Amino acid sequence: MGLYLIGDVQGCDAALGRLLAKIDFSPSRDTLYLLGDLVNRGPDSGAVLRRLMAYGSCARCLLGNHDLSLLAVAHGMRAPHRNDTMDDVLLAPQRPAMLEWLRNQHMAMHAQGLLMVHGGVLPQWDVRQTLSLAGEVQAVLRGPGLVDFLSQMYGNEPSQWDDSLTGAARLRVIVNALTRLRFCTAEGVMDLKTSGAPAQAPPGYMPWFDVPGRRSADTTIAFGHWSTLGFVQRPDIISLDTGCVWGGCLSALRLGAQAHELIQVKCELSQAPGD
């Protein structure tokens, strides 16, 4: 039985197919953990979703910011961005089934000794609170309040977590942290505009995983989202977005009891890096 983490696919189904062939993936034997941003910017978002849907429970997927964007556009709560490539989902006969499947995926997962998120974890959150807060968003995504939630999901404020937050503001902070976070202050104030490498942190900010004393530091956190960071493996983090859609690689990490193995395929696309 093989256990694999996979970084941001972003609609690159051809690269995903080649990666799965390279690892000799079998749905009857292996399990995939996809770290979000399944769709958008690449050419075949619909094909990616159909593939993962067909794999059933052996493909366990996180929602990234682009996946939430697809839901928002599909429900008329956000205008498409000029660089979006989601029409093959929005115009597909299987659109209702794909959107229903997508809204039932995860905001965070805890499996194989790893906490998995797409973006990051605020320094005030431990693993239990992260999963609990992710569950709050998942419940809304899967419930009758989906459209109302999507209409209020976007925005950079509040920029900092407070346990007393309620309603749309509370859910917005959770979503921004779990799907968009790269940099924050030691107090957990988020910068959601900077997308460069760690050395390009704004003054007073640092990568979320380098905040001293963050409460999740005792658990290894696997995440995607940060293509300019690339692959990083250290005891407390695994970063696995290696910029497939921007002309980089699509990466899988085979989880082993003693050591993990990085497996990559080069993507044929070449675009300017973006969010």
Q: Cβ distance 139 to 106 under 8 Å?
A: no
The residue type at 196: G
273 in a structural domain:
no
- What is the spatial distance between Cα 83 and Cα 98, in angstroms, rounded to a whole number? 21
Residue 188 gets the label, from left (phi > 0), alpha (psi -120 to 50) or beta, of: left
Contacts of residue 126, defined as CB under 8 A and 6 or more positions apart, other chains included, come to: 215, 216
Instruction: Kindly report the CATH number assigned to the domain that includes residue 16.
Output: 3.60.21.10
Q: Cβ distance 83 to 29 under 8 Å?
A: no
130 in a structural domain:
yes
83 in a structural domain:
yes
- What is the structure's pLDDT at 268? 77
Domain total of the chain: 1
- Record the pTM: 0.96
Contacts of residue 53, defined as CB under 8 A and 6 or more positions apart, other chains included, come to: 97, 98, 101
Q: Output the CA–CA distances (angstroms, integers) from residue 14 to 55, 180, 270, in the order listed.
A: 16, 26, 14
114-116 β-sheet, strand order = 109-111, 114-116, 220-223, 237-239, 232-234
- Greatest Cα-to-Cα distance within the chain, rounded to the nearest angstrom: 49
The DSSP symbol for 104 reads T
Read off the tokens for 129.
């609170």
- What is the spatial distance between Cα 14 and Cα 1, in angstroms, rounded to a whole number? 24
- What is the structure's pLDDT at 275? 56
- What is the structure's pLDDT at 272? 44
Per-residue pLDDT of the chain (275 residues; tens, 9 = 90+): 899 999 999 999 999 999 999 999 999 999 999 999 999 999 999 999 999 999 999 999 999 999 999 999 999 999 999 999 999 999 999 999 999 999 999 999 999 999 999 999 999 999 999 999 999 999 999 999 999 999 999 999 999 999 999 999 999 999 999 999 999 999 999 999 999 999 999 999 999 999 999 999 999 999 999 999 999 999 999 999 999 999 999 999 999 988 999 999 998 765 444 45
196 in a structural domain:
yes
47 in a structural domain:
yes
Query: Rounded to the nearest 10 degrees, how much is the dihedral formed by the CA atoms of 246, 248, 250, 253?
Result: -130
272 in a structural domain:
no
**In terms of residue numbers, what domain contains 92?**
3-266
274 in a structural domain:
no
- What is the spatial distance between Cα 40 and Cα 77, in angstroms, rounded to a whole number? 17
9 in a structural domain:
yes
